[in-house]
Amino acid sequence: MLPGDTNHRQRGSAGLALVFLVAVVMGSMLMLHTAAVISVGNTARALDLAQQNLTMNAQLEQLTAETALNVRCAGYQPSTLSYQEAIHNLAALIPSSDAIVSISSAPSTVPILHWYPVLGGTPETLGAPSADLTQMATPELRELLGANVSESTTFDVNYRTSREVRGANINYDTTVACRLVAVPLSRYRISGYDMPEDIGAADSAVGWPSSFAPTDIMPRGLVPGRDPAALARLVTSPNRPGHYRRRALLAEAYQYVFSQRYYDRVADYAGTTHFCNVDGSVANPILTGGSGASGIYSLDVGRFGQGQLGSLTRTSSAAVFYSTMAGSRLVLTDSVGSGSAVFLLVIGPASAASGQIELEISGSIGRPIVIVAANANVTAGPGTVVNGALFLDPQCRVSAGNGPVSIGHVSYWLGSTTVTTNAFRPGVMPAAAAALSPRVIYAATLTRSL
């Protein structure tokens, strides 16, 4: 061995070791980079899949709620379709290019909410929203609910969503819980309402607008486009915010209140002993606290309750007063100022062109009261206080004398030019009167992934 060979070989071995070490490090870095790229890609796909599932859950919630509302209160006439049939029909409209939705199970019917007047039955009592309802309701819906509601039991709809992910078919099972809730229309002290044709809601299939100006019966902060759960092609149009549906529900509720169906419902409940012709053209029942002659009928609300027609005598919390001729006058007074709540339906001639019935509130009314007026000219003196609610149809007029009427609630048509908002001042709405007020139905939903 020549001198220096050992050192030369040692240097060669060290060089090879260094090259190997560099190769190992570079390979590790490449593997780490590849793993990072794969991890980022998997994370992105996972986030994208999670977002798709959130969007789908929102669509399933709206599908569940829309079907319940359509079946239970479309036009406030229960649908002839069962809930199962209706939800299968609407499920086919869910817009999704990469997912298939099927319904595993759904109830055949949905709960019914009863409110005053209920012929031969008892309306649900009002109470604070339950903890379950508060959890299910969105912030916007919670604002609409207020302090007193009636609720249905919760029902579940089970869905299966099938989606292809990286060549594999994955199924997601989801349960949507739904609860219907009825809210008195007296929830807001002074409410301007729409009729369905005002907002294009007369036909749920076509012609609904994509935006609107919120009214004072909508909660603060609601503007078009804020609802992330808007479901294209499912009753609502692609650009319509989901809370438009709630506005349409309110319009539909008021349309029902001022419809022949509701008038008949009240008349059937009041009965012939509490059905009075203000014209005096036909024989009227004898009402305690009531008297009339020559087209003027006076009712002392504080004494109201018992009615008699012939040999039939009964007590009712409701009465109907109607007129077919212009100028007939119903005068309301209250000599007592207390008592259980009463409900009065006051109906004028069929058309304002034929004249109106005069509804005179002569002095304050302390007894809890709900008045639904159709084609009436409402007058009240300055400083009048009404301990209850007044619902005015689009044909009504209001004259408040020299000062505003203090009232628990008033509803008037937003398009009216004969009702000025400064004619009223918000007062106290008694719970007894709220219990007799007409109601609007909403639906609250909550998703539970399995």
Looking at the structure of the chain, the number of domains it has is: 2
Does the pLDDT of residue 201 top 70, yes or no? Answer: no
Residues 285 and 268 in one domain: yes
Tell me whether residue 18 is in a domain.
Answer: no
Position with higher pLDDT, 33 vs 267:
267
Among 77-81, 87-91, 390-394, which stretch is predicted with the lowest mean pLDDT? 77-81
- Is residue 7 in a domain? no
Same domain? For 196 and 277 the reply is no
**Polymer length of the chain:** 450
Cβ 25 vs Cβ 205: under 8 Å: no
The percentage of residues in the chain with a pLDDT greater than 90, rounded to a whole number, is: 35
Average pLDDT over residues 277-283: 81
3-state secondary structure (DSSP) of residue 424: strand
> DSSP letters along 57-110, please?
HHHHHHHHHHHHHHHHHGGGS--SS-HHHHHHHHHTT---SSEEEEEEE--SS-
- Read off the pLDDT of each residue in 91-101 and give the average, rounded to a whole number: 69
Q: Are 70 and 147 contained in the same domain?
A: yes
Residues 218 and 288 in one domain: no
Reading the block at residue 323, the tokens are 């007129």
Average pLDDT over residues 173-197: 88
- Asked, for residue 433, whether it belongs to a domain, the answer is no
Same domain membership, residue 213 and residue 351 = no
The answer to whether residues 234 and 298 belong to one domain is no
pLDDT of residue 59: 78
Asked if the structure places residue 22 within a domain, the reply is: no
The pLDDT-based confidence of 65 (bands split at 50, 70, 90) is: confident
Q: Which is nearest to 363 in space by CA: 336, 340, 386?
A: 386
Ranked by mean pLDDT, which of 57-71, 114-128, 244-258, 305-319 comes out on top?
A: 305-319
Residues 119 and 159 in one domain: yes
Residue 362 falls inside a structural domain: yes
Residue 18's pLDDT is: 58
Residue 387 in contact with residue 368, Cβ under 8 Å?
yes
CA distance 155 to 443: 11
Lowest mean pLDDT among 41-45, 101-105, 365-369: 41-45
pLDDT class of 181 with cuts at 50, 70, 90: very high
Please indicate, yes or no, whether residues 399 and 300 belong to a single structural domain of this protein: yes
Is the pLDDT assigned to residue 425 strictly greater than 80? yes
Query: Is there a single domain that holds both residue 196 and residue 270?
Result: no
Tell me the per-residue pLDDT of 357-390, one tens digit each, with 9 for 90 and over: 999 999 999 999 999 999 999 998 888 999 999 9
Say what the pLDDT of residue 382 is: 81
Residue 101 has pLDDT above 90, yes or no: no
Asked, for residue 1, whether it belongs to a domain, the answer is: no
**Predicted pLDDT of residue 239:** 43
As a whole number, mean pLDDT of residues 55-83 equals 72
423: nearest Cα among 185, 146, 192, 194: 192
> Above pLDDT 70, what percent of the chain?
72
CA distance 252 to 108: 24
Q: Which of 105-109, 146-150, 234-238, 341-345 is predicted least confidently?
A: 234-238
Mean per-residue pLDDT over the chain, rounded: 77
pLDDT at 24: 58
Residue 3 pLDDT: 54
The predicted pLDDT at position 126 comes to: 94
Same domain, residue pair 167 and 202: yes
**Is residue 418 predicted with pLDDT exceeding 70?**
yes
Q: How large is the average pLDDT for residues 397-422?
A: 82
Q: Quick one: pLDDT at residue 357?
A: 93
Does residue 434 lie within any of the structural domains?
A: no
For the cut 60, the answer to whether the pLDDT of residue 66 exceeds it is yes
- Per the CB < 8 A criterion, the answer to whether 50 and 42 are in contact is no
pLDDT band at 232, cuts 50/70/90?
Answer: very low
Give the global pTM: 0.79
How much is the pLDDT for 343?
96
One domain, residues 156 and 296:
no
On whether the CB atoms of residues 332 and 365 are closer than 8 A, the answer is yes
Q: How confident is the model at residue 231, as a pLDDT?
A: 32
pLDDT attached to residue 188 = 86
Residue-number span of the structural domain to which 317 is assigned: 260-428
In contact, 174 and 448? CB cutoff 8 Å: yes
Q: Which is more confidently placed, 90 or 350?
A: 350
Residue 366 CA to residue 139 CA, distance in Å, equals 35
pLDDT for the residue 16: 59
Same domain for 230 and 271? Answer: no
What would the mean pLDDT of 44-50 be, rounded to a whole number? 53
What pLDDT shows up at residue 51? 60
Tell me what pLDDT residue 449 has: 63
pLDDT at 401: 66
**Assigned domain for 379 exists:** yes
Q: Is the pLDDT of residue 263 over 60?
A: yes
